[in-house]
Each structure stands twice: as C-alpha cells, then as structure tokens.
Amino acid sequence: MLYCKNCKTYFDEPVMIFYSDKEIAFSTNKYVCPNCKEDEFVKADKCDRCGEFYVQKGPLCLKCKQELKKIIADFLKDFTYLEQEVMLDSV
C-alpha cells in the first residue's frame, strides 16, 4: 500500500505517465498517484494491532499507540511511584 503526501490518500499501485520537460530536453516515464497525479508518495505500513494502514514509524498506527498509552496509564495509576519504578526497572 502507498500513501500520497499531496492528496492524503492510500492506493495500491501508482500509475505511469510520460513526463517531458522541453526546456531541458528531458523526457522519462514517471510514477504518480492515481488520484492527484503527483509523485509525492511513500510506502504505508499495516498496523499490527488494528490492520489499518499508516505512515508513522513503528509497528502501530497513531490511534493504536494512543489507545495503548491509555491502557498502560490506567494500569499504572493503581501503583505507587516506587512500585512503578520497580516494574520499569525489571523490564
């Protein structure tokens, strides 16, 4: 899956167009987004947790990272600061 930085859409395959610049006498085939025809796209990853596609670093999308942080924060709130330190040191 690919993600277009220009139009903010996901797509499976770019389309190939013939690109020509007459000012510098240059022509080539260019791969572009099928929606906006720009070449500003990157590989998108699939979230290990929810299966949605995303472009951030790591194995989880932003939504799942935020949900996981909330789960951890809710879990840790029942422990004292010292208990939390001990748990974190043993990981």
Mean confidence (pLDDT) of the chain: 90
- Residues 30-51: tens digit of each pLDDT: 899 999 999 999 999 999 999 9
The domain segmentation of the chain, as residue ranges, is: 2-89
CB-based contact 64:49 (threshold 8 Å): yes
Q: Could you give the CA distance from residue 51 to residue 66 in angstroms, rounded to a whole number?
A: 15
CB-based contact 60:71 (threshold 8 Å): no
Beta-carbon contacts of residue 63 (< 8 Å; ≥ 6 apart): 50, 52
pTM comes to: 0.66
User: pLDDT tier at 84 (50, 70, 90 boundaries)?
Assistant: confident
Q: 14: exposed, middle or buried (C-beta count within 10 Å: 0-12, 13-18, 19+)?
A: middle
